[in-house]
Amino acid sequence: MSVSGPKKIMVTGALGQIGTELVEKLRKIYGNENILATDVRKLDDNPGVQNGPFEILSVVDSDSMDKLVKEYDIQEIYHLAAILSATGEKKPELCKKINIGGTISVLETALNNNLKIFAPSSIAVFGPDAPKNAPQVTPLNPTTVYGQTKVIGENLANEYWQKHGLDTRGLRYPGLISWKSPAGGGTTDYAVEIFHAALEKGHYDCFVGPETRLPMMYIDDAIRATLELMNSPVDNIGDSRAGYNISGISFTAQQLVDTISERVDGFTCTFTPDKRQLYADSWPDSIDDSQAKDDWGWEAQYNLENIVDSMIEGLSD
Ligand code: NAD
Ligand code: AKB
């Protein structure tokens, strides 16, 4: 790892829901040329990612990852490439290959090149036996393949820290709500799709029932949490380093519909639960994030009203 000059960062899965906004933010802070965006997909017309270096990279190709790290003199990787829950249940082998195999590639590349790593976890690590307000420490028995890969990811990150001193950090993101890029194959995607449908068609058919309550967060809070965690002194980072609980808000699908209806005239929503209802039901309603608050001062800013206002404003521009 070089110690002089600007910080150079690689982002995997950079064209996804989080990557699009994280790359934009990192480039504002560290300079466009210092943030290497990578994805297995070709660069599209994604304006946040177009304004700096981009390389095609599959995260299971550790040789190419190592080469890019050396070529661009990378010091940190934000590892966002993954297969999310709904796609993961349809394609469990692919989910295991990308989520576990990709994380191993990143950790091995980090070990060879002395890099600092951010690898996100998810509320999907919790299973039906976890308390509905999920504490930081509780048995993790997820029933989705995706959740199982996230538990393995946390365990691997902890192992590389304990055995090799590799500085790996992660957050258990709730369902994220954003408008700049679509959500990618997850169960919480209804909380994003509903805004597009409300504004384009005035109607949404929701794939979970009205009483479904899940932990959610606005993307600006999620990006801020990511950077606050990564920029905290190592001494502030405790045993939860690989998967800090962070809480934003918790609402039912019906509460989301009602809040949108107050702002979009004539909006209607029907409910046709599908398999994703099962995955949602296996996750907690809300998250206890007191450990993140104590260790590095985490505090969410967005409530349901602000989120709905920001989504409608962003999509209406
Ligand atoms: P996303 O599906 O929107 O984006 C993932 C990106 O990874 C895509 O651009 C895809 O092309 C890329 N990708 C897939 N296979 C790849 C491969 N083999 N090599 C390289 N790139 C590949 O996902 P996201 O919502 O941006 O999620 C990013 C991370 O955050 C994931 O680890 C996810 O599990 C986690 N997370 C997301 C949420 C959320 O609500 N968005 C919640 C909890 C955790
Ligand atoms: C999904 O629904 O799969 C993701 C997540 C909560 O990890 N949004």
Burial track 229-261 (b if 16+ CB lie within 10 A, e otherwise): bbebeeeebeebbbbbbbbbbbbbbbebbbbbe
Q: Give me the pLDDT at residue 46, please.
A: 77
pLDDT of residue 3: 52
Does the structure show a pLDDT above 80 at 47?
no
Mutate which of 43, 62, 80 to test ligand 1's pocket (most atoms within 8 Å of Cβ)? 80
The finding on whether 10 has its CB within 6 A of some atom of ligand 1 is no
Spell out the long-range contacts of 158-163 with Cβ–Cβ below 8 A and sequence spacing 24 or more. Answer: 158/241, 158/242, 160/107, 160/110, 160/111, 161/241, 161/242
Catalytic residue of the set 78, 146, 160, 218: 146
pLDDT(4) > 70: no
pLDDT in tens, 262-310: 999 999 999 999 999 999 999 999 999 999 999 999 999 999 999 999 9
Which atom of ligand 2 is least distant from the CA of 214? 6
Q: What does DSSP say about strands 244-245 and 175-177: parallel, antiparallel, or unpaired?
A: unpaired
Question: Residue 232 region, left (φ>0) first, then alpha (ψ -120 to 50), else beta?
Answer: beta
Domains of the chain with bracketed CATH: 9-124+139-173 (3.40.50.720)
Task: Specify the ligand 1 atom closest to the Cα of 119.
Answer: 32
| pLDDT given for residue 2 in this prediction | 47
Q: What percent of the chain has pLDDT over 70?
A: 99
pLDDT interval class at 184 (50, 70, 90): confident
> How far away, in angstroms, is 120 Cα from ligand 1 center?
9
pLDDT reported for residue 170: 98
> What pLDDT was estimated at residue 45?
72
- The yes-or-no verdict on residue 1 having pLDDT over 70 is no
Q: Which residue has better confidence, 254 or 1?
A: 254
Confidence of residue 57 (pLDDT cuts 50, 70, 90): very high
Q: Which amino acid is at 92?
A: P
Give yes or no for residue 142 CB within 6 A of ligand 2.
Answer: no
Burial class (CB in 10 A: 0-12, 13-18, 19+), 44: exposed
pLDDT for 74-130, tens place per residue? 999 999 999 999 999 999 999 999 999 999 999 999 999 999 999 999 999 999 999
Ligand 2 binding pocket includes 185 (Cβ within 6 Å)? no
Which pLDDT belongs to residue 76? Answer: 98
The contacts of residue 72 (CB under 8 Å, 6+ apart) are 8, 10, 36, 53
Report how far Cα 117 is from the mean position of its chain's Cα atoms.
14
Amino acid letter at 42? K
DSSP state string for 108-133: HHHHHHT-EEE--EEGGG--TTS-SE
Report the predicted TM-score, pTM, of the whole model to 2 decimal places: 0.97
Kindly state if the Cβ of 178 falls inside 6 Å of ligand 2. Answer: no
Q: Is the CB of 187 under 6 A from ligand 2?
A: yes
Residue nearest to atom 7 of ligand 2 (CA): 122
Is the pLDDT reported for residue 5 higher than 90?
Answer: no
The mean per-residue pLDDT over the stretch 184-192 comes to 96
What is the residue-averaged pLDDT of the chain? 96
Q: Catalytic site residue 160? A: no
Q: Are strands 9-12 and 76-79 parallel, antiparallel or unpaired?
A: parallel
pLDDT in tens, 213-256: 999 999 999 999 999 999 999 999 999 999 999 999 999 999 99
DSSP string, 125-158: G--TTS-SEE-SSS----SSHHHHHHHHHHHHHH
Instruction: Assess whether the C-beta atom of 188 lies below 6 angstroms from ligand 2.
Output: yes
pLDDT tens-digit readout, 123-181: 999 999 999 999 999 999 999 999 999 999 999 999 999 999 999 999 999 999 999 99
Tokens of 126: 């919790």
Q: With a cut of 70, say whether residue 187 has pLDDT above it.
A: yes
